[in-house]
């Protein structure tokens, strides 16, 4: 059976080498497995050039598990978090903060507007009780890329702390801890590193982590406890996702051979260019202008044709070998196509052809 290619923001299509790494079983307390975990953490820190001041804490679960763990551990119980909101994942952060009982302030933006540095700065100036800013780097709901370096500078200038949701940007978009201050950065195994889902990672400032004991109200999501246990024993506190860790080790090896973050960005950028060029040639319109588009996932307006219906469109494209993603906007009808994973531009050209063929079968004539 040939499996379809995932044009999604994670899970995503992985290489044969990454899949093969999951064929072996590992003992969770075995020294060889613990060495894999340690090597993965070292490489993740190195991608950010964060060796001097930061540590990596892996956590079982999806990326959202790690976001909740970071917010619950790194933000004191009496802290207050500013959330610049220009998409679904910022709103998820706000929802998590409500569950955690942390004070929060939402700074609303349009979904086609990058997080505004001046408005963030003004909000911090107006409210001295705000202790943190939680910023989504690439808002995967639309594909927009927020200006992280400028935001980080504004937060630091106000003496506040920054927590970054880099779920769909880490490994592809440059983030350099030597010039960008943050207390915590969150990513996951199944995104631009091209591993499989099941593991979140928080790269935290060591000094902040060491001062965050007793912040977490959850045992399993207490990053301090997880880190301290790993430092003492080299082991995970609770049963680790062994196959996921092994797959990520293989994926990181391929990442490094490819040329690291610059090479991955170059490939994804070409994927994105080919996709958008092909879809626009068919008549599709992108939700975002090119200047705001990250080369991670692209949101397209659905065809304004009475013959179009997403469920049928999805099924027909899947029959042709590709899995798309539904839109995540509430105001307009859209769908999304990912540019990431172990794929190149030829795959995106084939995907555009499959989309066109599926819509012809549906009788769709108006694409945009």
Tell me: the pLDDT tens digits for 84-96? 999 999 999 999 9
8 A C-beta contact, residue 307 and residue 313: no
pLDDT tens profile 109-130: 999 999 999 999 999 999 999 9
* Per-residue pLDDT tens digits for 133-143: 999 999 998 99
Q: The tokens of 110 are what?
A: 């349009």
- Tell me 12's DSSP state: -
Q: Token digits for 37?
A: 């975990």
Q: Are 19 and 247 in contact (CB under 8 A)?
A: yes
Nearest residue to 168 (alpha-carbon basis) of 221, 95, 89: 89
pTM of the model: 0.96
Confidence of residue 1 (pLDDT cuts 50, 70, 90): low
CB 325 within 8 A of CB 8: yes
CA 130 to chain centre: 25
Q: What is the spatial distance between Cα 175 and Cα 251, in angstroms, rounded to a whole number? A: 19
106: left (phi over 0), alpha (psi -120 to 50) or beta: beta
Confidence of residue 329 (pLDDT cuts 50, 70, 90): confident
Segment 168-215, tens digit of pLDDT: 999 999 999 999 999 999 999 999 999 999 999 999 999 999 999 999
Q: List the domains of the chain with CATH numbers.
A: 16-257 (3.40.640.10), 260-362 (3.90.1150.10)
The pLDDT score that the predictor gives to residue 330 is: 63
**pLDDT at residue 298 above 80?**
yes
Task: Check: CB of residue 149 under 8 Å from CB of residue 107.
Answer: no
Q: What is the mean pLDDT of residues 252-272?
A: 98
d(CA 68, CA 87): 17
- Residue 367's pLDDT is 85
């Amino acid at each position: 059976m040939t499996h379809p290619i995932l044009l999604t923001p994670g899970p995503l299509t992985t290489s044969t080498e990454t899949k093969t790494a999951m064929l072996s079983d590992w003992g969770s307390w075995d020294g060889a497995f613990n060495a894999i975990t340690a090597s993965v953490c070292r490489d993740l820190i190195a991608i950010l050039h964060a060796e001097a001041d930061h540590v990596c804490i892996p956590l079982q679960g999806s990326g959202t598990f790690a976001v909740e763990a970071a917010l619950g551990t790194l933000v004191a119980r009496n802290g207050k978090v500013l959330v610049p909101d220009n998409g679904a994942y910022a709103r998820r952060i706000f929802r998590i903060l409500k569950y955690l009982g942390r004070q929060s302030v939402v700074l609303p933006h349009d979904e086609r507007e990058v997080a505004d540095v001046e408005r963030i700065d003004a909000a911090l100036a107006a409210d001295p009780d705000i202790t943190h800013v939680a910023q989504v780097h690439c808002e995967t709901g639309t594909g927009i890329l927020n200006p992280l370096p400028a935001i980080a500078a504004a937060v630091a200038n106000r003496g506040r702390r920054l927590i970054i949701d880099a779920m769909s940007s880490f490994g592809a978009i440059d983030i350099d801890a030597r010039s960008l201050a943050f207390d915590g950065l969150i990513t996951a195994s199944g995104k631009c590193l091209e591993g499989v889902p099941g593991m979140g990672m928080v790269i935290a400032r060591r000094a902040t982590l060491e001062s965050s004991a007793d912040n977490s109200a959850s045992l399993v999501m207490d990053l301090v406890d997880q880190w301290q246990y790993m430092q003492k024993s080299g082991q995970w506190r609770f049963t680790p996702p062994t196959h996921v860790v092994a797959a990520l080790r293989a994926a990181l090896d391929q990442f490094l051979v490819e040329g690291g973050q610059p090479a991955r960005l170059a490939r994804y950028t070409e994927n994105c260019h080919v996709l958008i060029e092909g879809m626009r040639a068919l008549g599709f319109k992108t939700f975002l202008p090119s200047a705001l588009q990250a080369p991670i996932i692209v949101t397209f307006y659905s065809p304004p044709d009475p013959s179009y219906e997403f469920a049928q469109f999805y099924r027909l494209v899947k029959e042709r070998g590709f899995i798309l993603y539904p839109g995540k906007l509430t105001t307009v009808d859209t769908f999304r196509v990912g540019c990431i994973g172990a794929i190149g531009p030829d795959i995106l050209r084939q995907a555009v052809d499959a989309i066109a063929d599926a819509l012809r079968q549906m009788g769709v004539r108006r694409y945009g």
